[in-house]
Chains A and B, each alone.
Chain A
């Protein structure tokens, strides 16, 4: 079993169980909604994949001349194009692409080692996942805590400070923030690593099971590797998490403020319930509903690759992979990755909507 299959199972099985549970125990309207969404997802992904396939081929340049550069003679270019099937009629290439998608084989990359895309994704996707999960948690912790605090101290110094923070942090260029953190903690203080997923020497001891290095280290009890992975995660997590936290602060703040103005909060306050219990125990819970939507969408987008963060920290994830392959016109890699992510975003979006219905009983489908 490849790591990507393992991860797909780890994500897919719980998602499937959740949907099944909701499908069985939910209302008829919800069941209809889920069926409709699933039914719409497949044609949506098909249309997107088709668009990507043809747009890539409309663009000038091709993977073979890009790879060979000035050393590529017309004879070599023609020979390699034929070997890679790029001289086949477009309809033949398109049929092959669809076949590869349906069988989840995805084909082989057109550049470098011409490796199977599924192998390359097996290496790159876990790296992105390993970065996105802690960064999202970090962003949520800062964002929800900061937003709630700002709301509870509305129009006071803390509120103004957090609002300014949220605007500034969200508008900071992520590569600049990453570079500053690298210079401070990596070069000046020299207490944190600035690149890669794991120390290169310790990395030789890790057993690749899921390619989520933290998980692999835990499974095998390789504590030094786990520690090294955690260390390497600190700066990219903070960089990505801080940038994301800005929008969460603002979203949480506005929703908590609205909730705090509700009648039931006034009633609770009149009964003498302490303010922090009101805010964190009652208002926050209800204010979280729109935030959940935002979380789902943000995580889905990040799974497609936190391009700049990955580049700054030489993090070998999906973002840097996709950028590299687009510039090399690696048709197979680009169309496969985009199709997979379209599927992923659609599924996460569906899952968020379903969770929404569970969290908020007022939501009816």
Chain B
């Protein structure tokens, strides 16, 4: 009898809890007490759309909940270097320049009053700050505070635990100075054609001295965290959620349209997909895979779209290790691969094949691999193989490596497709090998272990140089075509063509005339394809799924993807919600 009573009691408690929960839709506490009153906030200069007033089913009308499986690593601009960190930083902070929402090639002033004056030698960039810029806690942003923040990046950045953000500053900056309260002067070590693109990154947003001490990194300062952007972080719980509320002192062009944004962490994309179906979240953002995306496309009340961002997948070939040290072998691989088959059979046509490391739409992007190899071209592949003595009777034994989970569960499937394509030549016998990420990446990038593997790349700044430099000269630290050489920026090219490639790229890096620069990159891509430094495969799309009552701004391009373009910049301020 006692156990029966317990059972009844437990059932009653569960039911009572559910009833309590159902009654429990309350309005949460307001912004932290340190936040100034909304009435003190200046009026925004441009409000894209009107804020909604009624609540839709699911989440409250004044709140948009974004789900993600991406992990947060740092809020400190001197340390942060991941897409998730940058997305948050750029919503709570603005730099001197930013990408116009919905575009990936149009920079606009943010903290700056206008575009900079650039000296004739390309070494000095002079900016003037807009009037009345304040951090969210009411503190003024002066040119000196901005300059101190960038100098903090140069001095403190290298000591930060993640330790790589200063790579966007140290190689380029000679000095940053504030001659008066409004003027900021960057002096470069050498001309850099893409310096404005770098300036638009989260790394160049000012760190609020009240949150981030001058002499050390502060990856997770206590909330509230204030910047110069449209939002501030009012609270966060690691591994659960980050809450953003409108910055009352924001005077820029993208003021917040809803009362609150909550970014919720998910451990599993499957759960994230279910959560958008039942209305627990409004937006399912990175990372839904192609299978979940396909499932969600048919769900009523949900918009599912893809964004062709800058994330690519490619085969990496170790030119110093057999058999990838044989030019005929790498050309045979480039000739045999069929990108369309991968896109169609594994991804249902949702990924775009690429024929250069520089994705379409970027300055100077060409299709050099298509022009040169017209793959799949099995006859040509066989010719290359035969030239090195590989035939059906004496096939090339090729080990291809991949990480089974890091780039999604579909990796094994598309590696098997590549295996089949290589073996269709009749003169290659492929052995697929997989290894979990931490082991794999250490072995692959160390250059010792594998001849052929697969990797992904996501740009640091949206410029063709960032899709080529790291694979060709990598600051003299060694690549497939340039051996590491101490004291040099470009290493030791492995042959004459590699030398020619380096020469053209160093010219392109400093060429400010866009037409000439585009021409240089076209030549670079041709030589790159001829050398088969790597084999670009496809552009990995970002999957964006949102409920039908969530809208992007019609004032900017691509509202159908919530104004996210190839830069993958997600401005929460363009979001509105209707009943």
Contact = CB atoms under 8 A, between A and B. Distances in A.
B20 A205 contact: no
Interface string B239-282: 11101000000000000000010101111101110110111100
Given A142-B7, A202-B24, 7 more contacts: A112-B74, A194-B280, A196-B240, A204-B262, A281-B1, A310-B267, A315-B267
Q: Which of B3, B29, B74 has the most CB of A within 10 A?
A: B3
A298 interface: no
A112 B71 contact: yes
Contact of A312 (B4, B167, B271, B457): B271
Contacts of A299: none
B36 to A, nearest CB: 19
Contact of B24 (A141, A225, A315): A225
B542 to A, nearest CB: 18
Interface string A189-224: 011111111011111110010000000000000011
16 contacts: A61-B442, A72-B164, A83-B161, A84-B161, A113-B161, A195-B266, A204-B235, A223-B24, A224-B24, A224-B26, A228-B24, A230-B20, A234-B18, A276-B1, A280-B2, A314-B267
Contacts of B474: 73
A194 B267 contact: no
Nearest to B69: A314
Contacts of A68: 164
Contacts of A107: none
Interface of A: 59-63, 65-76, 79-80, 83-84, 111-115, 120, 123-124, 137-138, 141-142, 144-145, 148, 179, 182-183, 186-187, 190-197, 199-205, 208, 223-234, 276-277, 280-281, 284, 310-316, 320-321, 327-329
Nearest to A67: B162
Interface stretch (B326-334, B346-354, B366-374, B433-441): B433-441
Given A223-B24, A227-B19, A314-B267, A205 B441 contact: no
Nearest to B455: A70
Q: Which of A66, A223, A226 has the most CB of B within 10 A?
A: A66
A238 B45 CA distance: 52
Contacts of B25: 199, 201-202, 224
B20 to A, nearest CB: 3
Contacts of B393: none
Interface residues of B, number: 85
Contact of B220 (A111, A115, A315): A115
B559 interface: no
B258 to A, nearest CB: 12
B1 A202 contact: no
Interface string B180-201: 0000000000000000000000
Nearest to A214: B17
Nearest to A112: B73
Interface stretch (B58-66, B126-134, B412-420): B58-66
Contacts of A71: 81, 164, 460, 470
A196 B264 contact: yes
Contact of B278 (A60, A113, A123, A186): A186
Interface of B: 1-4, 6-7, 10, 14, 16-26, 28-29, 59-60, 63, 65, 71-74, 81, 158-159, 161-164, 167, 219-220, 234-235, 237-241, 243, 260, 262, 264-268, 270-272, 274-275, 277-280, 316, 436-446, 455-457, 460, 470, 474-475, 477-478, 484
B486 to A, nearest CB: 11
A227 B267 contact: no
Nearest to B234: A204
B278 A314 contact: no
A277 B478 CA distance: 81
A311 B268 contact: yes
Contacts of A281: 1
A277 to B, nearest CB: 8
A234 B14 contact: yes
Given A145-B3, A202-B28, A204-B28, A228 B477 contact: no
Interface of B is mostly: mixed
Contacts of A276: 1
A62 B442 contact: yes
A75 B14 contact: no
A183 B243 CA distance: 28
Contacts of B234: 204
A83 B163 contact: yes
Contact of B20 (A73, A148, A195, A224): A224
B21 A141 contact: no
A101 B111 CA distance: 48
Given A141-B3, A186-B274, A230-B14, A112 B72 contact: yes
B245 to A, nearest CB: 10
Contact of A66 (B21, B437, B457): B437
B278 A280 contact: no
Nearest to B158: A79
Contacts of B167: 76
A65 B445 contact: yes
Q: Which of B10, B442, B477 has the most CB of A within 10 A?
A: B442
Contacts of A61: 436-443
Contacts of A63: 438
A194 B438 contact: no
A195 B164 contact: no
Contacts of A231: 17-18, 21-22
Contact of A203 (B1, B158, B240, B442): B240
Contacts of B20: 223-224, 226-227, 230
B74 A83 contact: no
Given A65-B442, A195-B275, A227-B20, A179 B270 contact: yes
A277 B2 CA distance: 10
A281 B262 CA distance: 52
Shortest beta-carbon contacts, A-B, top 6: A230-B17, A227-B20, A224-B24, A61-B438, A66-B438, A231-B21
Given A71-B164, A112-B73, A194-B274, A201 B235 contact: no
B7 A145 contact: yes
Contacts of B316: 70
Nearest to A120: B238
Contacts of A224: 20-21, 23-26
A255 to B, nearest CB: 14
A66 B10 contact: no
A304 to B, nearest CB: 17
B477 A75 contact: yes
A113 B220 contact: yes
Given A123-B239, A230-B18, A60 B439 contact: yes
A80 B163 contact: yes
A320 B81 CA distance: 24
B33 to A, nearest CB: 14
Contacts of B71: 112
Given A83-B161, A224-B23, A313 B457 contact: no
B220 A227 contact: no
B72 A313 contact: no
Given A226-B20, A280-B1, A60 B240 contact: no
B267 to A, nearest CB: 5
A314 B441 contact: no
A196 B274 CA distance: 12
Contacts of B17: 226-227, 230-231, 233-234
Given A70-B455, A224-B24, A228-B24, A83 B274 contact: no
A312 B264 contact: no
Nearest to A63: B438
Q: Which of B10, B162, B278, B475 has the most CB of A within 10 A?
A: B278
B21 A316 contact: no
Given A65-B445, A187-B274, A316-B239, A200 B262 contact: yes
B278 A194 contact: yes
A192 B14 CA distance: 12
A203 B268 contact: no
